[in-house]
Chain A
Amino acid sequence: ETGVTQSPTHLIKTRGQQVTLRCSSQSGHNTVSWYQQALGQGPQFIFQYYREEENGRGNFPPRFSGLQFPNYSSELNVNALELDDSALYLCASSESSGVSYEQYFGPGTRLTVT
């Protein structure tokens, strides 16, 4: 297992609601990336945070937002939930934002939107 933890494990929300997912990075890691993995698909990059600043973003609408805290833990917030937001949300941490740094994944949060 990696040292990356995510909470909650599972979550059920209703369309239109808002959700916050949390990630604690591995000790010594200052970079956190978030991915969305829909059923039967590979993970898709949402955004990355490096030292509390957004450091890159994938093709996701602004209702997907995030934060990184001074201890490098991170939150993913999704507003106005849609049915298609149902997915496994993965957090990955790395020692730095450089391309050569390996990303270590957490177990994910399974979000179901009804």
Chain B
Amino acid sequence: AQSVSQHNHHVILSEAASLELGCNYSYGGTVNLFWYVQYPGQHLQLLLKYFSGDPLVKGIKGFEAEFIKSKFSFNLRKPSVQWSDTAEYFCAVKRQTGANNLFFGTGTRLTVIP
């Protein structure tokens, strides 16, 4: 069965620290990969996505993610976090064949201390 794993449940960082959030998926076929962010009291927003091509993708607000096919991973990174990055981050996978829906991980809560 399709599954998405986010191993970090809660990450606490000081401002200016670097961030890396892990995401692994279990589907063996071709996938599209996404990172969504949910700021407190707001709706889910797309941070970045990977469909094909350069495995290093850049998103909004200085975030980037690298797709490593051999590791079934799509880790999210940011060189220097800000207090405003405090939010819940979700990795999601969509298969390129079959049902057109997103499979989400359980999320990682990021708290940035000023």
Contact = CB atoms under 8 A, between A and B. Distances in A.
Interface string B27-64: 00000100010000011111001010000000000000
Nearest to A104: B46
> A interface, how many residues as a size bin?
20 to 34
A45 B44 CA distance: 14
Interface in B89-114: 90, 92, 94-96, 99-107
Task: Please classify the interface of chain A as helix (H, G, I), strand (E, B), loop, or mixed, using the class held by over half of its residues.
Answer: loop
A108 B43 contact: yes
A55 B101 CA distance: 10
B101 A33 contact: yes
A33 B51 CA distance: 20
Given A1-B43, A90-B44, A100-B32, A42 B105 contact: yes
B95 A99 contact: yes
A56 B99 CA distance: 6
B100 A56 contact: yes
Nearest to A108: B43
Nearest to A4: B43
A48 B94 CA distance: 14
6 contacts: A42-B90, A56-B99, A92-B44, A100-B32, A105-B43, A105-B44
Interface of A: 1-2, 4, 33, 35, 40-45, 48, 55-58, 90, 92, 97-100, 102-103, 105-108
